[in-house]
Each structure stands twice: as C-alpha cells, then as structure tokens.
Amino acid sequence: MLALVDCNSCYASCEQIFRPDLRGCPVVVLSNNDGCVVARSKEAKSLGIPDLQPFFKIEYLLRKHGVTIFSSNYALYGDISNRVMITLRQFSPEVEVYSIDEMFLDLHGLQECPLDYGQQIRQTLWREIRMPVGVGIAPSKTLAKLANRAAKKIPKCQGVCILDSPQKWQWLQRRTEVSDVWGVGRRLSKRLGHLDIKTAYDLAQANPKILRRHTNINIERTIEELNGVSCLSLEEQPSARKQIYCTRSFGEKLIELQPILQAVTLYASRAAEKLRAQASLVKSVHVFLHTSPHEPNYYSRSTVVQTPYPTDDTRLIVQLVKRAVSELYRRECRFLKAGVGLVELVPSSLGQGDLFTQGQPVRAGEAMQAIDHINQRFGRGTLFLGAEGIKKKWKMRQQHKSPAYTTRWDELPEVAT
C-alpha cells in the first residue's frame, strides 16, 4: 500500500501556524508582486473567493468579508515544508517528495490498521508542526491521489481515506470526473469525452490498447493504476532539473539600466544557488527582458550566452548576464520583467573543459561553497554580490508579507512572559 500525504491549503496553513488567532478564519495568499490569489484557506473557499484571480479585481470582496491577506513568503513555506517532510520520514523508510506540500510513503508490510496509521500521521503533523493534512492510502499512486482527494472532500472520512478493495475505489471512481484523475488534465479529458469516457470509472474499464491509439502510452499506465496495479515506483531521489529559471516582474516599471542590472544580478544569484544545490554546472545562459504587453510599442528581446567553461560560479554567471542585458536594453522603454535561465546543465562530476581551457578554478568552487554555507546558517541574503545594490526600489511588491519566523534571527517570534 502507498500513502499520499497532502498539506491542506499549504501556503495559507503556513501563515496560520504562527498566527493562531487566524485559525478558522478566511486567509488568502497572493502571488509575486501581489498579483493574483494563489492559496485560500478552507474558510476563504467557503466564502466563494475565486482562485487565480487578479488581486485588484477582488480586493473589495476580500475586504468585505474580512479576509486576511498575505504576500507570498516562500522562505517560510519552504522551511515548513521541509519540517513536514522530515516528520513524515518517521512513518516510512521509503518516501518520495512529490511537491512542496505532497509526499508519497511506502506502507508495504504495515502491521497496523491503515486507518489508524493515517490518523496517527495527521495527529503527529498537527501536534508537532500545526499543519493540517489529508491522507490517502491505496495500492497505487493514482488511487492514492484519488483517495487523498476524497479525504479532503468527504467529511465522513475525517481526513483519511483508505481504498483497499475494488468495491471502494470503484464507488469513488463513479463519482469522480475523468479530468480529476491524476495525469489526465483538461486537454486529454476532452479527447476522452469524445470517446464517451466521462468518469474515472469509465476510464478504468476502457480498453487500454484502443485508447493508446488515440492518446499515448501513459494512458495504459493510468488505467492499470486505477485498477489497483502499481506501475509507478517511488522516486526517492528527485531527478536533477534540466533547466533552472529565475524570473520576476519589477515592483515598478524601470527606465534606467542600473536598477535592471541590479535585478538580474539577484536573479542570476538565485539561479546559481539552485544550480549548486543539485550539484550541476551550466554551459549556456538564457536572458530576456520585456515591457508590458498591455502598453503600446511592446518590446521583448532575449539572448543566449555561452560560458567559457562549465561553471557554478555566481560571479561569472552574473558577469555574462549583465553584459547580455546591456545589449538588450533600450533607453526609451519602460521595462516590466526580466529573467535569467540556466539552460544547458551538466552534472558537476562530468564538467570538464577542453584542451585550451583549464575549467573552473578550485578556489571559485570553494568560495561559492562558503557563501552558500553562511547564507544557509544565517539566512538568505546575509552575503550577496554588491552589484545587487542596497536600496532595491525595483524589488517586487510584498505589502502584506509576514515575517520569516523560522529562517531569520531578527524575525523570530517573541513569547510574552
């Protein structure tokens, strides 16, 4: 049996951990630059607050219902997610971190009652972290996803759903639209609809060989999984990303070159951190810059630059990015967004130069390792390149940002005595 543990309204729940006064109250979290609603608490959903809607369009509705608004605080969410995953490892020796708020657990050989074990997982996460979760347990990943959805949607489940027999998962499949099946999505569900496949049960009973002619081989695996046959194994070590991007809209439209250079320096630094975290080197860097598409004379340009050798040195990457942006820049434009992408990656163990290039100096790697260690210990941004600037007027809007309760010493919560 496999279990899928999924945090309920993850970002909103993270904000409520250190604000117990907001538990049971409507809460929403906004995207970068306070643009759209990307997370809603259960209470906000019950008020009819729509998801992925521009903040300025529904601000009146949020104020009307007394909804508490937060800007995205990714440092907090990432740290809370890490604590949840560490706690879940107590319940299984084999796990897969599927996303920031989801983890698969291998429960093969479990001697306890699955329902009791699922409740134990929920109670432990609430007691130790104050994170509410749903638990779905089934023989395959796809059924575990289905069970987890039921655990959250059906009050009688009390947060835990067990699909351990065909009768149980077929009952649920008949009441689940095919578009809600893991791996199907909107486009594929439309194509399946033309074949008179409307529900998960219809898909589970379909002939996989015939459907494969109209779709692809993945549909066969999905059908097998819906019938309790595990076809997707746990990935205990997530595969390295093939590309790493860091893109942001500016807090205000920028005309001068200098603040744009400061911004892309930060973006390149963030991307380089992620590059080193997965032990990779970069050979090509993609840089783009554009104005607002809603304004006249829309301007958008991009370029790809090659590194002299495979590298993870922030200083070299920033140097190349700044040179590229200077070439893309046009004085008469009001720029809205820029981005840096590391697009040709190789494992650091395979990074080598050619006959005429020595490759990255050893001391460069040591310097980057020291910077990462200090920033991990004392908080991101403790050490940074001076090219980022000190007063960052271009920084994205975060007017409702909560403190970094768990990752900055100066923002630790204080206990009144």
Q: pLDDT tens for residues 27-69?
A: 999 988 888 899 999 999 999 888 888 888 888 889 989 999 9
Q: Is residue 355 predicted with pLDDT exceeding 70?
A: no
List all residues 6 or more positions away from 369 whose beta carbon is below 8 Å from its beta carbon. 276
For 16-25, write each residue's pLDDT tens digit: 999 999 999 9
Average predicted confidence (pLDDT) for the chain:
89
For 114-147, write each residue's pLDDT tens digit: 999 999 999 999 999 999 999 999 999 999 999 9
The mean pLDDT of 71-86, rounded to a whole number, is: 91
How many contiguous H segments (helices) and E segments (strands) does the chain have? 14, 12
**β-pairing, 300-311 with 280-291?**
antiparallel
Lowest mean pLDDT among 69-73, 149-153, 175-179, 218-222: 218-222
pLDDT for residue 14: 94
Residue with tokens 């009768």: 167
The mean pLDDT of 295-310, rounded to a whole number, is: 91
pLDDT for residue 152: 92
Rounded Cα–Cα distance for residues 18 and 181 (Å): 34
Count the neighbouring beta carbons within 10 Å of the beta carbon of residue 5.
30
Residue 68: its H or E element: strand 68-70
For 204-248, write each residue's pLDDT tens digit: 998 888 887 777 778 888 999 999 999 888 876 667 788 999 988
| Sequence letter at residue 323 | R
C-alpha dist (Å) from residue 108 to 90, 94, 98, 341, 381 = 15, 10, 19, 41, 43
**Quick one: pLDDT band at residue 352, thresholds 50, 70, 90?**
low
For 357-383, b where at least 16 C-beta lie within 10 A, e where not — what string?
Answer: eeebeeebbeebeebbeebeeeebeee
SS3 category, 27: strand
The CA-based angle 173-174-175, given to 5 degrees, is 90
Region class of 5: left (phi > 0), else alpha (psi between -120 and 50), else beta: beta
pLDDT for residue 293: 87
The burial of 194, by beta-carbon neighbours within 10 Å (0-12 exposed, 13-18 middle, 19 or more buried), is given as exposed
The burial of 319, by beta-carbon neighbours within 10 Å (0-12 exposed, 13-18 middle, 19 or more buried), is given as middle
Q: Whose CA is closest to 78, among 56, 101, 109?
A: 101
The mean pLDDT of 316-342, rounded to a whole number, is: 93
Q: Is residue 296 predicted with pLDDT exceeding 80?
A: yes
Residue with tokens 């992620």: 274
**Quick one: pLDDT band at residue 356, thresholds 50, 70, 90?**
low
SS3 category, 293: coil
C-alpha dist (Å) from residue 192 to 173, 179, 187, 319, 414 = 15, 9, 9, 50, 55
Q: Whose CA is closest to 163, among 182, 142, 144?
A: 144
Q: Is residue 203 predicted with pLDDT exceeding 80?
A: yes
pTM: 0.77
The mean pLDDT of 321-336, rounded to a whole number, is: 93
The top-scoring range by mean pLDDT among 52-56, 71-75, 149-153, 354-358 is 149-153
Residue ranges with strand state E in 312-386: 335-347
The mean pLDDT of 379-395, rounded to a whole number, is: 81
The mean pLDDT of 372-383, rounded to a whole number, is: 85
Instruction: Assess contact for 1 and 104: CB atoms under 8 A.
Output: no
Give, as one character, the DSSP assignment of residue 156: G
Q: Is residue 358 predicted with pLDDT exceeding 90?
A: no
pLDDT for residue 119: 96
Backbone angles phi, psi at 94, to 5 degrees: -120, 120
For 247-285, write each residue's pLDDT tens digit: 888 888 899 999 999 999 999 999 999 999 999 999 999
